């Protein structure tokens, strides 16, 4: 018997390995309140939930554990989905509403004109070469708003709320999509902007912040953390697609603070 099966031995009939136990429910409840967690946090939470309910938790079974939760979330059009931070390459888990992957999911927290500006920001980021937009460009885009136009101070306030609510990241006046936003809105972004979105040549997921091959007939994009991993230890970096010299500075792999078990 696996630990999951043991965990649910007290549960109802049905597919044993897919039964939710109290440890699964506790994990899910925490995800509902925090929305997103990095892989270290997820492992710690998994361990905590299992210990609290006296269930064994093999460290390498986190993804199975989450699969069990996801099988119960499916009829509710919810899912815990994995994605990578474009900043440091760290894996994250986010609770995603599959029924509403567009910006209307934010309508309980944001007014119509605020959502319009967020959409414009999203458009600017998707249309940019490396996934960033300046606050100046966002402020300028309020001129073309069709809903009630936001004033400068209102726009600034909105941007800081979007950062606080983990939809955007900000560094020195430059805005990027947060990991949460990318994981939750990827299907929406792929559908809405299919001609503009690119996929990372290395990890094949949607890419915003990146390095780009300068060969005009190639032009592949690679996430910065994927660049760091791919070129690590290679004497002369060459494009994995066209073999041209890779002219960019190779970022270092940034180690997350806590140590992984591996």
Q: What is the dihedral of CA 171, 174, 180, 185, to 10 degrees?
A: 180
226 binds Zn ion (CB under 5 A): yes
Helix (H), strand (E) at residue 97? strand 91-97
Asked if residue 221 lies in contact with residue 200, where contact means CB atoms within 8 angstroms, the answer is yes
Least distance between Zn ion and beta carbon 243 (Å): 7
Cβ atoms within 10 Å of 114's Cβ, excluding its own: 22
Q: Select from 218, 250, 251, 254 the one that contacts Zn ion (CB under 5 A).
A: 218
Q: Select from 16, 139, 203, 253 the one that contacts Zn ion (CB under 5 A).
A: 203
At which residue do the structure tokens 């994250």 appear? 92
The window from 47-55, 61-69, 211-219, 248-256 that contacts Zn ion (CB under 5 A) reads 211-219
Asked if residue 49 lies in contact with residue 26, where contact means CB atoms within 8 angstroms, the answer is yes
242 binds Zn ion (CB under 5 A): yes
Least distance between Zn ion and beta carbon 60 (Å): 23
201 binds Zn ion (CB under 5 A): no
239 binds Zn ion (CB under 5 A): yes
199 binds Zn ion (CB under 5 A): no
Q: What is the dihedral of CA 152, 155, 159, 161, to 10 degrees?
A: 120
Q: Which residues pair with 212 in a beta bridge?
A: 221
For residue 28, give both structure tokens.
Answer: 């899910």
Least distance between Zn ion and beta carbon 98 (Å): 23
250 binds Zn ion (CB under 5 A): no
The residues that touch Zn ion, with contacts defined as CB under 5 A, are 200, 202-203, 213, 215, 218, 223, 226, 239, 241-242
């Amino acid at each position: 018997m696996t630990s999951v099966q043991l965990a649910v031995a007290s549960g109802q009939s049905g597919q044993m390995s897919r039964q939710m136990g109290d440890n699964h429910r506790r994990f899910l409840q925490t995800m509902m309140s925090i929305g997103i967690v990095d892989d270290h946090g997820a492992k710690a939470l998994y361990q905590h939930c299992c210990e609290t309910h006296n269930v064994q938790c093999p460290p390498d079974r986190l993804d199975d554990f989450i699969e069990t939760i996801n099988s119960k979330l499916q009829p509710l059009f919810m899912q815990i989905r994995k994605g990578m931070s474009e900043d440091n390459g760290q894996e994250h888990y986010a609770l995603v509403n599959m029924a509403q992957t567009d910006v209307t999911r934010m309508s309980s927290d944001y007014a119509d004109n605020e959502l319009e500006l967020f959409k414009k920001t999203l458009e600017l980021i998707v249309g940019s070469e490396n996934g960033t937009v300046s606050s100046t460009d966002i402020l300028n885009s309020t001129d073309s708003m069709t809903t009630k136009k936001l004033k400068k101070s209102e726009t600034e306030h909105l941007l800081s709320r979007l950062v606080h609510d983990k939809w955007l990241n900000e560094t020195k006046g430059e805005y990027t999509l947060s990991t949460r936003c990318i994981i939750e809105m990827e299907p929406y972004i792929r559908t809405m902007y299919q001609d503009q979105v690119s996929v990372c040549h290395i990890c094949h997921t949607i890419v915003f912040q990146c390095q780009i091959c300068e060969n005009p007939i190639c032009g592949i994009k690679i996430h910065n953390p994927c660049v760091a991993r791919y070129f690590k230890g290679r004497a002369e970096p060459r494009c994995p697609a066209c073999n041209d010299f890779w002219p960019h500075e190779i970022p270092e792999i940034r180690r997350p603070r806590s140590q992984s078990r591996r």
